[in-house]
Amino acid sequence: MAVLLYYPLVKPPTEVLHQALLYWDGIASVVPREPEVYEAAVSAELKELRDRSLYQPLHFDDRSMELLYAAPRYGSRGVVGNLTVEVLRQELRRMADSPDRPSLPSPPEAFIYLSKLTYRLERELLRLGLAEQCEDHWWRLAVPKQVQELIIGVLARELALEGPVSYIPYTDRPDAYDCSLRVRTEQGLRAYETELGGLLPVPAPGTPTADVLAFRDRYADERQRLMRALHRLLGELRRDYEHPADVVSQLRREIDQSVEDYRGAVKSSRMAWVERSVMVTVALGAAAGSVVEPGLTWVLGAVGGYALNVATREIRPLARTRDDHDFSYLHRVKETLT
């Protein structure tokens, strides 16, 4: 299974939700643990999708939270504990010490549920002046937007590493996207960044989710073929990063056919469709750093009538990377549609 893990908020925008229902096995988000707070934070629509196994509310249990935020220590086998917390603390201290440190506006612009934090991290946020307690809502802290995006971005990438499901971090906020990838060390990770939005049309704003679900069920074969082709493309680009043009050439017929079949399904529906920009970052692994030069760009031609541009840049992931596919998506929504 491949499920989009939306962050930094609990409720994804409608267009992100519809895209997840059409092209993935569902959607997930990080939710508060307290039952009464969860009931208020999660919408009725998401609860209905949860009952259909299309939405997964995720949270850390107490043991996982302690492991995540425990300070790393050294033992006979090397580093023990999760280094992500140290990266997170460094970023928070950097924010607090910066001349342009994020301020707490009034009224607050962002919040973090206490159930997503340990007591230690809660105290540190308050000590650094990066959070304020909400007297009228004891279960959350008021924080600057940058702090919320950093912490929830870290949680999203950590949750993506857990369990048998392949969670794919996905956000519509560029700052949250950058925070979830950044770590202040000298070693980076090479990656492809690819625009796939032209291949993944979504229903126009105002389309009922019930109509999207009906399309999903009716054209299950067409959409699954398209997603298999695209995931295979991204996987092959990751494995054979030295010869991207060869990869596209080998898969062109499969991609062209799957795109053509899916377009036929889209045209036969009575829904209006639009295109949204979707950038996918495909981690190549540490070995690629010695092969792929930053700034090098391949224009690989038209795939299904759309230009597929694959570029390399250096990303800095938090603490660790997966051995298998590590896809992170940035959803960019245009304010005006033409």
Q: State the Cα–Cα distance between residues 46 and 284, nearest whole angstrom.
A: 34
Give me the phi and psi of 23, to 5 degrees please: -120, 0
Neighbouring CB atoms inside 10 A of 73's CB total: 8
Domain residue ranges of the chain, discontinuous segments joined by +: 186-315
What is the per-residue pLDDT across 167-191, written as a single tens digit (0 to 9) for each?
A: 888 998 887 787 766 543 334 556 7
The CA dihedral of 263, 267, 272, 277, to the nearest 10 degrees, is 10
User: What residues pair up with 331 in beta bridges, in sequence order?
Assistant: 278
Query: In the prediction, which pLDDT does 89 show?
Result: 80
> CA 65 to CA 267: how far, in whole Å?
47
**Phi, psi (degrees; rounded to nearest 5) at 182:** -90, 140
Residue 36 belongs to what H/E stretch? helix 35-41
The residue written with tokens 């007297």 in the block is 135
Confidence tier at 304 by pLDDT (50, 70, 90): low
Residue corresponding to tokens 């690819």: 194
List all residues 6 or more positions away from 249 whose beta carbon is below 8 Å from its beta carbon: none
Chain segment 95-127, per-residue pLDDT in tens: 999 998 998 888 888 999 888 877 788 888 999
Residue 24 has pLDDT above 80, yes or no: yes
Q: Is the pLDDT of residue 299 over 60?
A: no
- 200: tokens are 């993944």
- What tokens does 61 get? 């249990």
Q: Is the pLDDT of residue 336 over 70?
A: no
